[in-house]
Each structure stands twice: as structure tokens, then as C-alpha cells.
């Protein structure tokens, strides 16, 4: 039962952050959304900061698992790059609540060294996953620059999406990143 309650609290945290658009949510509010008492939320996570860290770890773990599955399906270096792009804008990852949570975590990472560490882990993984395909197409230095720019596009599209109303449009986001990649990789792709 404990894992279910912990997961319910994490899901409630994502929902509350998504609705509020910031980390300015209380443990009581989160607990209420999860259908548990504040005392139980504190029992599982201690302070709100620990729940926020657990939520960020959960989001990163889901992204990592989704990325691994996507990369296992890719059969070419170019396919690996596209798989990484697509998974970042998948139905699970590109939800309004998750987008708002990412933005809130980026803002809070300016003050929290623990969140900053987690975001650095995310950035290293994204870069590494992009490089796993790009190094099969481009010289290492150029692959590194294209990976950095592609990661910036992905993160930037999340920020832009967080600032817009309405349902996120993953297809448009993917098309923008793929257009950039086509420009950089045209004539050099390994099929």
C-alpha cells in the first residue's frame, strides 16, 4: 500500500504544480488531492522539499525509461536521434501538468542545489542520448554542437509551451526540432 500512496502523492504534486504553475503548493493541498492526510504525506516524505525532489526523480525516471524503450527500437544512428526527440514530446511526457512541473523545477533549481543536481543529470542524459546517434553521423565536435542545440530546442519548446494556453502540440514541436536536424544532417545521414 505504501508505494501506491507515495505514487498518489507524487501524481498529486504534479497535478497541483501544473494547476498552479509554480511550486507554491502546500503539503496539505497535495495530500488532499491524493486522498491522504497531511500527516501521512509528512510521514512518507518529511518536508515538502523532499516530496518535490521525489516528484522530480519520478519525472526523470519515467523519461529515462521511455527513452530506453525508444532507443531499443531505433535501428540507425539517425533513428536514435529522432527517437530521443520524439520521446521528449510523447503523450506521457508532453502533458500540460508535466510541462508546468518542468518549468517550475527549472525556476526552483536556481535556489535548490538538490534540484539543480537533478536537472544537471537530466541535461547530461539528454546530451548523451542524442550523442548516441549523432556520433554515427557527424564528427565528434560537430555532433556535440548539434546535440547541445537540439537539447536547447527541446527545453525551449517546453518553456514556450508552458507559456501558452491550450493543449500542447507535440507534432509541431517535433517538426521544428526535426527541421533543424535535417538542416544539420542533410547529406551526412547513415541510414
Contacts 24+ apart (CB under 8 A), 42-48: 44/2, 44/5, 44/6, 44/9, 45/6, 45/9
Name the nearest CA neighbour of 126 among 95, 181, 168, 80: 80
Distance (Å) of CA 81 to CA 29, 41, 116: 40, 40, 25
**Distance separating alpha carbons of residues 190 and 171, to the nearest angstrom:** 24
CB count in 10 Å sphere of residue 156: 13
**Distance separating alpha carbons of residues 126 and 60, to the nearest angstrom:** 11
Report all structural domains of the chain as residue ranges with CATH numbers, in order of start: 52-186 (1.10.357.10)
Q: pLDDT (tens digit, 9 = 90+) per residue, 125-134?
A: 999 999 999 9
**Distance separating alpha carbons of residues 6 and 74, to the nearest angstrom:** 33
Please work out, in degrees rounded to the nearest 5, the angle formed at the alpha carbon of residue 123 by the alpha carbons of 118 and 127.
150
Q: pLDDT (tens digit, 9 = 90+) per residue, 137-172?
A: 999 999 999 999 999 999 999 888 877 776 778 999
Integer distance in angstroms from the first to the last C-alpha of the chain? 48
pLDDT computed for residue 191 by the predictor: 47
Residues of the chain with pLDDT under 70: 1, 166, 189-191
pLDDT computed for residue 22 by the predictor: 79
Amino acid at each position: 500500500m505504501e508505494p501506491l500512496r507515495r505514487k498518489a502523492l507524487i501524481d498529486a504534486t504534479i497535478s497541483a504544480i501544473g494547476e498552479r504553475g509554480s511550486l507554491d503548493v502546500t503539503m496539505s493541498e497535495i495530500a488532499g488531492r491524493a486522498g491522504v492526510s497531511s500527516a501521512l504525506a509528512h510521514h512518507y516524505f518529511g518536508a515538502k522539499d523532499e516530496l518535490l525532489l521525489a516528484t522530480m526523480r519520478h519525472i526523470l525516471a519515467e523519461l529515462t525509461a521511455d527513452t530506453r524503450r525508444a532507443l531499443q527500437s531505433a535501428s540507425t544512428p539517425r533513428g536514435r536521434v529522432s527517437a530521443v526527440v520524439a520521446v521528449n514530446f510523447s503523450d506521457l511526457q508532453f502533458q500540460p501538468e508535466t510541462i508546468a512541473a518542468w518549468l517550475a523545477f527549472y525556476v526552483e533549481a536556481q535556489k535548490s542545489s538538490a534540484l539543480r543536481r537533478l536537472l544537471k543529470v537530466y541535461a547530461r542524459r539528454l546530451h548523451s542520448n542524442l550523442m548516441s546517434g549523432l556520433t554515427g553521423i557527424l564528427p565528434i565536435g560537430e555532433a556535440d554542437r548539434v546535440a547541445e542545440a537540439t537539447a536547447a530546442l527541446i527545453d525551449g519548446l517546453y518553456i514556450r509551451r508552458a507559456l501558452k494556453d491550450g493543449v500542447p502540440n507535440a507534432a509541431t514541436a517535433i517538426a521544428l526540432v526535426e527541421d533543424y536536424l535535417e538542416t544539420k544532417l542533410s547529406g551526412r545521414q547513415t541510414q
